[in-house]
Amino acid sequence: MTPQVCLEIAVTAARAAGGYARAQRHRRGEANQRLAHDVKLALDVECQGIVEAIIRERAPGHAILGEESVGAAESGDDRTPLWIVDPIDGTVNFSHGLPFWCCSIGVRLGARSLAGAVYAPDTDELYTATCDGPALCNGAPLHVSSVAAVRDSLIMTGLDKQLDPRLPPFEIFRAISVRAQKARIIGSAALDLCHVAAGRADAYFEQGIYIWDIAAAALIVERAGGRAEQIGDMGHGRLRFLASNGSIHEAVKDIIARVQQDKTQAEG
Ligand code: IPD
């Protein structure tokens, strides 16, 4: 299956699930589970089902890994594409009625990203890319910003939903805030990355996110001329992830590394 065909299926599925969630938003309070800093919605599971049904019909035999996997999570290999699905990214926003949420679907073959689609129903924005094509928003080409210094940058971030006391999310947030022109937390990792791809933000960093939060949009950043990098593995599928316009990548990475170092020294 070509990357373009994968993208067409991902777009169909993202639009179907996102449209369904939007139509059903009066049910946004129906929670299967409430956690201190997160919520698991009935609509999350229903949207995952919609995406899976479309993939199973149009890409039979492919593997699916979803945040809300209805069956057991599957894994791909070098010959079996893996569809990585976050049916509602920004679930807490959605549950409060904030418009910053989306459906995110990435397709990988082994370590290679083939295609990614991120659909934000409330703003009707569809971000897409294939490994051999441009990054687009509603068909218009995207390009990362040309901001070259952290002091001039706007950096998107998020606070680890587990707020693990051994990790320094607030210290990193503080360090970024004092060095950048602005730090922002919007609450949807996939949309944060799309803002970097569109040149509206210059970098995105978060720790404690999962592959489904970033699989589609990382490719969109790269195809928009930026850089996307997993900079750590926290275990249990939790990642530390940095994406940027490329120009400020190393500087932001240094800020994060220094905070981490200081924390380790203070503890040692
Ligand atoms: C969450 C959002 C949020 C980020 C969390 C993610 P979810 O995804 O992307 O911005 O801070 O780390 O888990 O749970 O809404 O799909």
Span 48-96, pLDDT tens digits: 999 999 999 999 999 999 887 755 566 777 889 999 999 999 999 999 9
Strand partners, 118: 104, 127
Residues labelled catalytic: 67, 86, 88-89, 91, 213
Note the pTM of the prediction, 2 decimals.
0.94
Domain boundaries, the chain: 3-133, 150-267
Q: Domain 150-267 has what CATH class?
A: alpha beta
For residue 168, the cross-strand partners are none
Structurally, at CATH architecture level, domain 3-133 sits in: 2-Layer Sandwich (3.30)
Q: Are 216 and 243 in contact (CB under 8 A)?
A: no
Asked if pLDDT for residue 43 goes beyond 70, the answer is yes
**268 C-alpha to ligand 1 centroid (Å):** 31
Burial of 120-135, coded b for 16+ CB within 10 Å and e otherwise, reads: bbbeeebbbbbbeeeb
Nearest to 17 by CA among 42, 51, 59: 51
Q: What is the pLDDT of residues 119-130, one digit of tens each?
A: 999 999 999 999
- The model's confidence at residue 167, banded by pLDDT at 50, 70 and 90, is low
Residue 192 tokens read as 């944060």
**Minimum CA distance residue for ligand 1 atom 11:** 158
Give Cα separations from 88 to 109, 228, 237 (angstroms).
Answer: 23, 22, 18
**What separation in angstroms does the CA of 261 have from each of 18, 167, 248, 257?**
41, 11, 20, 6
More confidently predicted of 223 and 161: 223
